């Protein structure tokens, strides 16, 4: 029961965080792109809950939820969206790179599929170092059409690496339906080409995602190699906020998925299992306060100094930058 409450808390955190971020973006407080994953919270949290704190994970451009799923602090995440110096990336990454290495994140690349080889490399590092850390690699249905995905699946398979390939199949790559762009019915079918076990799971069902990912993590941790887990889920929003309406008419599809909202489903499940309505309300109030505090923290934080644009290109600033005078 504790794990269901904790999962509920993290899922609500993601939902509230993204909902409020969208509002702040609309008010002009958050610059740049913002890709939300509303509707996918059970897939994200179910996968993350199967990990140990010291396990690694690699995200994507749609990755606000991944660090939250792995229990990152909200304030540095929100401050990053607000482009502040207190942001988790010091204001140099933003929404598409909301990666918190303190919870095991190894980056969120905004180039579709390019994080997948990185996950393979992290798993190789764990294997060579002789530790039992597992790397969870998030990607989408669209990324499964990238060469990086196929090369990575092959490498992980021949080297028996401790990595879990976790596909959040949310049905669309920007505006292109997976059914139109993917040669197989299920992304999981692609695992067979790499002699890799796979599982398909209802991505709106937290417990199902958690159980499937736990099996894959256990296989990886015990030295039996990679697994591909495909969570069938759905993105409620357009590809990115402010992009306008680019999805084709989804018909009643959206309503059908909304009727199986992952947070509602878990809520119902907890209550049916004897959980308390009061406890859930308290979680929601707690999370709401956390998100508001994160927004206040972000608003109160400074923008980074211009000079910081030259930090972190390398471990140490190099001479080539010394003469630069910004023309602001």
Partner 1 sequence: MRVSFIEAIRQAQYEELKRDDRVFLMGEDIVSNVFGTTTGLLEAFGAARIRDTPISEEGFVGAAAGASMVGMRPIVDLTIAPFVYPAMDQVCSIIAKSSYIYGGQAKLPLVLRMCMFYGNANAAQHSDRPYPMFMGMPGLKIIVPSCPSDMKGLLKSAIRDDDPVLSFEDGTLWSQKDEITDDEDHLVPLGVADVKRQGTDVTIVAIGGAVPLAIKAAKAVAADGVSVEVVDPRTLVPLDCETILASVRKTGRVITVDPAHEACSVASEISAMIAERAFPFLEAPILRVATPNTHIPFCPSIEKVLFPTVERIVTAINTVKNYSSQ
Calpha distance 170→177 (Å, rounded)? 9
- Under DSSP, is residue 198 helix (H, G, I), strand (E, B) or coil? strand
Q: Which one among 122, 182, 196, 283 touches partner 1, defined by CB under 8 A?
A: 122
Contact in structure between 116 and 138 (CB atoms under 8 Å)? no
Query: CA-to-CA distance for 195 and 121, rounded, in angstroms?
Result: 19
For tokens 């909202």, the residue is: 261
Residue 228 touching partner 1 (CB under 8 A):
no
For the bound state, the minimum distance from the C-beta of residue 91 to partner 1, rounded and expressed in Å, comes to 8
**Which one among 39, 93, 162, 262 touches partner 1, defined by CB under 8 A?**
93
Kindly tell me which residue out of 73, 90, 177, 236 binds partner 1, with binding defined by CB under 8 A. Answer: 90
Show the binding pattern over residues 266-305: x = contacts partner 1 (CB under 8 A), - = does not.
----------------------------------------
Work out whether 325 is an interface residue with partner 1 (CB under 8 A): no
| Under rule CB under 8 A, residue 67 binds partner 1 | no
Find the binder of partner 1 among 123, 206, 210, 217 (CB under 8 A): 123
- Rounded to an integer, what distance in angstroms lies between the CA atom of residue 231 and that of residue 44? 9
| Spatial separation of the C-alpha atoms in residues 156 and 62, rounded to whole Å | 24
How many chain residues interact with partner 1 (CB under 8 A)? 49
| Side-by-side strand order, sheet with 105-108 | 105-108, 56-59, 135-140, 163-169, 227-232, 198-202
Q: Which residues bind partner 1 (CB under 8 A)?
A: 56, 58, 87-93, 97, 99-101, 106-107, 109, 111, 114-126, 128-129, 133, 135, 147-148, 151-152, 154-155, 158, 311-315, 318-320
């Amino acid at each position: 029961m504790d794990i269901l409450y904790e999962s509920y808390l993290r899922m609500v955190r993601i939902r509230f965080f993204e909902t409020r971020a969208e509002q702040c973006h609309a008010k002009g407080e958050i610059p740049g792109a913002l890709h939300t994953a509303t509707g996918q919270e059970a897939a994200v949290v179910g996968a993350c809950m199967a990990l140990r704190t010291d396990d690694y994970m690699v995200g994507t451009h749609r990755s606000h939820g991944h660090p939250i799923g792995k229990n990152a602090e909200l304030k540095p995440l929100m401050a990053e969206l607000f482009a502040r110096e207190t942001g988790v990336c010091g204001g140099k990454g933003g929404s598409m790179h909301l990666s918190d290495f303190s919870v095991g994140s190894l980056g969120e690349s905004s180039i579709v599929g390019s994080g997948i080889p990185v996950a393979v490399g992290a798993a190789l590092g764990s294997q060579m170092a002789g530790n039992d850390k597992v790397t969870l690699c998030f990607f989408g249905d669209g990324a499964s059409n990238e060469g990086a995905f196929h090369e990575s699946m092959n490498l992980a398979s021949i080297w028996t690496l401790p990595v879990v390939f976790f596909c959040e199949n949310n049905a669309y790559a920007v505006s292109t339906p997976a059914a139109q762009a993917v040669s197989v019915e299920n992304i999981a079918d692609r695992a067979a080409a790499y002699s890799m076990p796979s599982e398909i799971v209802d991505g709106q069902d937290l417990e199902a995602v958690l159980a499937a990912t736990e099996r894959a993590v256990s296989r990886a941790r015990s030295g039996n190699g990679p697994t591909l887990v495909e969570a069938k889920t759905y993105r409620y929003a357009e590809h990115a906020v402010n992009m306008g309406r680019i999805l084709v008419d989804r018909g009643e599809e959206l309503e059908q998925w909304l009727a199986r909202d992952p947070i509602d489903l878990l809520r119902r499940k907890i209550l049916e299992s004897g959980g308390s309505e009061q406890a859930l309300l308290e979680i929601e109030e707690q999370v709401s306060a956390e998100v508001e505090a994160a927004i206040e923290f972000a608003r109160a934080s400074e923008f980074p100094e211009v000079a910081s644009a030259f930090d972190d290109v390398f471990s140490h600033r190099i001479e080539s930058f010394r003469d630069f005078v910004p023309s602001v």
